[in-house]
Structures are given as structure tokens and as C-alpha cells.
Amino acid sequence: MIFIGTVNLVRTRDEGSFVCPACGVSQGYRLRARRPWLTLYFIPTFPVGSFDYFVQCDHCHANWDPSVLEMDALNHTNAGEEQFCEEAVRAAVLVVLADEQITENEIMVLQRISEHMMKRPVERDELGWICSSAQQNRIEAVNYVLTVSRHWNQQQRARALQGMFLAATADGPLGELQMRILARMQELFEFTDAEYHAAIEQAVQWDSGA
């Protein structure tokens, strides 16, 4: 039997310093080039696609489009906020997927959450791609948030928690699984009970249009 597959090989093409949108300060970076290769018996033989370039921060290891090197300070701030919003919406999706299914009510709530945070509703095909990727890679909400929330500030953590709470309650009162997830989020964000309940109250207010 012949074993044929593909693998992504990554190489560093340049190094320097830039203002990382996630860190908010100047950090070192590496310009990385990723390219798929055909493997024969698990050994890369020849490339089967073009290079995909990205910038990786040496400090937080976040990946960025190379255009980040040309941004001014204001655009860096906007890019950091945009990244947070996308991460917060994905965290809400993962909370919904904790029970390995997604309902029509949950889809509508996720679209409201994304419209509130990203100023646009996430399209169904985009939502389907996020769900499929999460299920294939067996990504759990707690593990994901633990990874991406390191650069979130306190206000962003509260906003992310609000989105996750609304996603968890899309089909009714919190179940035991959703309660455990939100309790872990409180621990990860180091929220006091007062801070946690204040964030939840704000979520209910903006969801109801108050």
C-alpha cells in the first residue's frame, strides 16, 4: 500500500519589529511562509500549492496578515479589536456546540451576538464553517478561551462572557453543562461574583434592547 498525503511546511523568511495589535506595543516578529507539500510515505516530495505568508508575533504568537506591518497605530488598535470580536463570537459558537448540536434558535442568537460585537451578522455558511472546524478539531470552549484570552483586557473579557451567556441560554434556562462552562469562564477571567453577575445583567439588557 502506498501512503500519500499532504503536509504544510513553514519557513521563516524575514524578521523585524512591529506594533502587535494584540500586545499593543512594539514586539519582534517573524514573516513566515507556509506551503502545502505532497508526502510519499510521510516524506515531503514536492509542493502542491502556493506560499501563504503570515506575520507571527514573537511575544504572544498571534498570527497576522502581512499588511499588519504597514498599519499605523490607530489601525493596529482597530485590528486588535476586530480580532477580539471574532474570537468572542467563536467562543460563543463553541459554547453552543458543547452539547454537539445546534438549533435554529441558537443560530439566530449567534447572529445577534455577532451583529452586536462585529457590527454584522455572521452568515450561515460562515457559521457552518466555524462549527465544522470546531467539531473536526474537537475544540472545546474552555480550552479555546484559555488560549486566545491572554491578550483580552477586563472589558473585553466581560463582553466575551456576555456573548457566551446569551449563546448558552438561546434554547432556554442554563443546563448543567452550560453552567459548568460559564463557571470555568469566571475562573479563567478571575471575575468576582459581583463582576460576573454585572456582566450577565448587561448581556440581558443589550439583548433585550434596553
Q: What 3-state DSSP class applies to 93? A: helix
Residue listed under C-alpha cell 498525503: 5
Cell numbers placing 207: 439583548
H or E element that contains 145: helix 141-148
CA distance linking residue 124 with residue 109, whole number of Å? 12
Which pLDDT does position 150 carry in this prediction? 79
Which is nearest to 8 in space by CA: 35, 39, 30?
A: 35
Q: What is the pLDDT of residue 208?
A: 67
Q: Where in the chain is the domain with CATH 1.10.3680.10?
A: 75-207
What does the alpha-carbon distance between residue 65 and residue 95 come to, in Å, rounded to a whole number?
28
Question: Residues 5, 39: contact at Cβ < 8 Å?
Answer: yes
Residue 207 has what pLDDT? 67
Per-residue pLDDT of the chain (210 residues; tens, 9 = 90+): 566 777 777 788 888 888 887 777 788 999 988 877 777 766 767 677 777 888 898 988 888 878 778 765 555 555 577 888 888 988 999 999 888 888 899 989 998 898 888 777 678 888 888 777 777 767 788 888 888 887 788 899 999 999 999 999 998 888 889 999 999 999 999 999 999 999 999 998 876 654
The verdict on pTM exceeding 0.85 is: no
Architecture of the domain whose range is 75-207: Orthogonal Bundle (1.10)
Closest CA to 161 of 119, 121, 204, 111: 204
